[in-house]
Amino acid sequence: MQLPTGASRFVFIFAHPAGHVGAPRHYTPYFHGNGLDWHMVPLDIAPEHLTETIRTLAKSPSVAGFNLTMPHKPAAFELCDAVGPAARFEGVVNTIRIEAGGRLVGESFDGGGFLNAAREERVFDPDRRCVVIGAGGAGRAICHALAAAGARRLRILNETPGPVETLAAKLRSRFADLEISLDEKFDDASLVVNATSLGLRETDTLPMDPGRLPVDCAVFDIIAARRTEFMQACAARGLKVVDGVAMIKHQLPLQTAFWRGDA
């Protein structure tokens, strides 16, 4: 293992809480494998301290950038001096780079990482119904990516109606041919995505009953910290299951290029 030195650079991943964050085991080896003396470091930062933490760390030349996860993506969007096109549409950022003078530029790569993983695993069929559970930061990014990739039918579910109705209206304004429904049905689903935090803890309820899924439905659970009970139940039914590690691995090259200023 390559240990950090005074010449190393760091990418901080902010979460609250942060005990579940396992991203460094994927990011740091990727950095080193691509000739970068970079290291990812997780920090538990309460929302009220996010701005001052980012502004302070951004002053150090040792910091290559920031990665944002729950619950910081919307607040990070507001903090940025400029954002990329995906972030502008979704209203969230999960990646921030530092430019001259401490200028913060953000972008959202959740959708791109998800879509590339879904394509590699062959679970995305644009002609069949995709169901996304969750309209938070990750859910918005995934719905946007699906719509931009040509999905024809999308169902979005959320615990509270406000966020999902806002997201649906925004998608309809941009993608006129996209059929969006908000009813809780799964009988016509070819892909179901858990874009919530349910599953981070063993005691969490399942995002939905796997018994309601068609036998040819695939499941993509964005949780990367553990093999969730939802994943296990879906696999036990013989359904194809993709986990959040696949999404991380496909985000890595996109985010690294952004932090380096190549994209």
Q: Give pLDDT tens digits for 123-170.
A: 999 999 999 999 999 999 999 999 999 999 999 999 999 999 999 999
Domain boundaries in the chain?
A: 9-108, 111-246
Residue that the structure tokens 């938070």 belong to:
136
pLDDT value for 257: 97
The beta-strand segments (E) located in 26-128 are 38-44, 63-68, 82-83, 95-99, 103-107
pLDDT value for 4: 94
Residue 209 has pLDDT above 80, yes or no: yes
CA 139 to chain centre: 8
pLDDT single digits (tens) 232-260? 999 999 999 999 999 999 999 999 999 99
Residue 67 has pLDDT above 80, yes or no: yes
Residue 220 has pLDDT above 70, yes or no: yes
59 is catalytic: no
Residue 263 has pLDDT above 70, yes or no: no
9-108 folds as: Rossmann fold (3.40.50)
Q: Judge whether 9-108 and 111-246 match in fold.
A: yes
pLDDT single digits (tens) 26-55? 999 999 999 999 999 999 999 999 999 999
Annotated catalytic residue, options 59, 73, 170, 249: 73
Kindly state the percentage of the chain with pLDDT values over 90.
97
SS3 236: helix
Span 65-84, average pLDDT: 96
d(CA 183, CA 205): 20
Cα-based torsion angle of the residue sequence 262, 72, 112, 194 in order, rounded to the nearest 10 degrees: 160
| 0.75 exceeded by pTM | yes
Q: Sign of the CA dihedral 85, 256, 225, 17? A: negative
Residue 86 has pLDDT above 90, yes or no: yes
d(CA 210, CA 82): 41
Length in residues, the chain: 263
Span 176-197, average pLDDT: 96
pLDDT value for 132: 98
pLDDT value for 57: 97
Residue 1 has pLDDT above 90, yes or no: no
CB 221, CB 72: distance < 8 Å: no
First-to-final CA distance of the chain = 29
Residue 108 has pLDDT above 90, yes or no: yes
CATH class for domain 111-246? alpha beta
Token pair in block for residue 59 = 């002053």
